[in-house]
Chain A
Amino acid sequence: MLSLILQNLVNGLLLGGLYVCIAIGFSLVWGVLSIINMMHGSMIVLGSYLAYYAFVFLGLSPFVAPLFVMPLMFALGYGLQSGILNRVVGKPILMTLTLTFGLDLILNNLMLAGFTADFRQVVFKSPFDALEIFQLIIPQERLYATILALLLTFLFYLLLNKSRIGRAIVAVRSDRDSAVLMGINVAKIYAITFGVGAAFAGAAGALMSVILPISPVESASYLGKAFVICVLGGLGNFIGVVFGGFALGLIESLGVMVTGPEHSVLIGFVVLMAVLAIKPTGIAGKRGFE
Chain B
Amino acid sequence: MGSRSIPSWAFLLALMTIACLAALPFALENYAIRLATMMLMYGVLAWGWNIIGGYCGYPSFGTAAFFGLGAYTGAILLSQKLIPFWLSPVLGALACMLLAIIIGLPILRLRGHYFAVASLGIGEVLRHVATSWTDLTRGGMGINLPPMLGSLAGEARLFYYAMLILAVASFGATVLVARSRLGVGLRCIRQNEQAANMIGIDATRAKVTAFALSATMPGAAGAIYASWIGYIDPSDVFDILIAIKAPIMVLLGGASTILGPLLGAVAYLVFEELVWSNLLQFHNAMLGIIVVVLVLFMPNGAIDLLRRRARMEAAR
Contact = CB atoms under 8 A, between A and B. Distances in A.
A266 B140 CA distance: 15
A276 B118 contact: yes
Given A102-B290, A108-B284, A269-B128, A88 B295 contact: yes
B251 A102 contact: no
A231 to B, nearest CB: 7
A41 to B, nearest CB: 12
A3 B289 CA distance: 52
Contacts of A266: 125, 128-129, 132
A265 interface: yes
Interface in B156-206: none
Interface stretch (B86-94, B106-114, B141-149): B106-114
B117 interface: yes
Interface stretch (B11-19, B210-218, B221-229, B240-248): B240-248
A102 B122 CA distance: 21
A110 B285 CA distance: 7
Contact of B291 (A99, A220, A231, A276): A99
B288 interface: yes
B287 A231 contact: no
Contact of B296 (A30, A84, A110): A84
B48 interface: no
A277 B106 CA distance: 6
B98 to A, nearest CB: 17
Interface residues on A, range: 35 or more
Given A92-B59, A94-B247, A272-B121, A99 B295 contact: yes
B295 A98 contact: yes
A289 B244 CA distance: 25
B271 interface: no
Nearest to A227: B117
The 3 closest A-B pairs by CB, nearest first: A102-B291, A105-B288, A109-B285
Given A113-B282, A273-B118, 18 more contacts: A30-B113, A84-B292, A94-B116, A98-B247, A102-B291, A106-B284, A106-B288, A109-B281, A110-B285, A113-B285, A231-B114, A269-B125, A270-B125, A272-B118, A273-B122, A276-B107, A276-B121, A280-B110
Interface of A: 30, 34, 36, 84, 87-88, 91-95, 97-99, 101-110, 112-113, 220, 224, 227, 231, 262-263, 265-266, 269-270, 272-273, 276-277, 280, 290
Interface of B: 53, 59, 61, 106-107, 110-114, 116-118, 121-122, 124-125, 128-129, 132, 240, 244, 247-248, 251, 281-285, 287-292, 294-296, 299
17 contacts: A34-B113, A88-B295, A88-B296, A97-B113, A98-B247, A101-B244, A101-B291, A105-B284, A109-B284, A109-B285, A113-B281, A231-B117, A263-B128, A265-B124, A269-B128, A276-B117, A290-B111
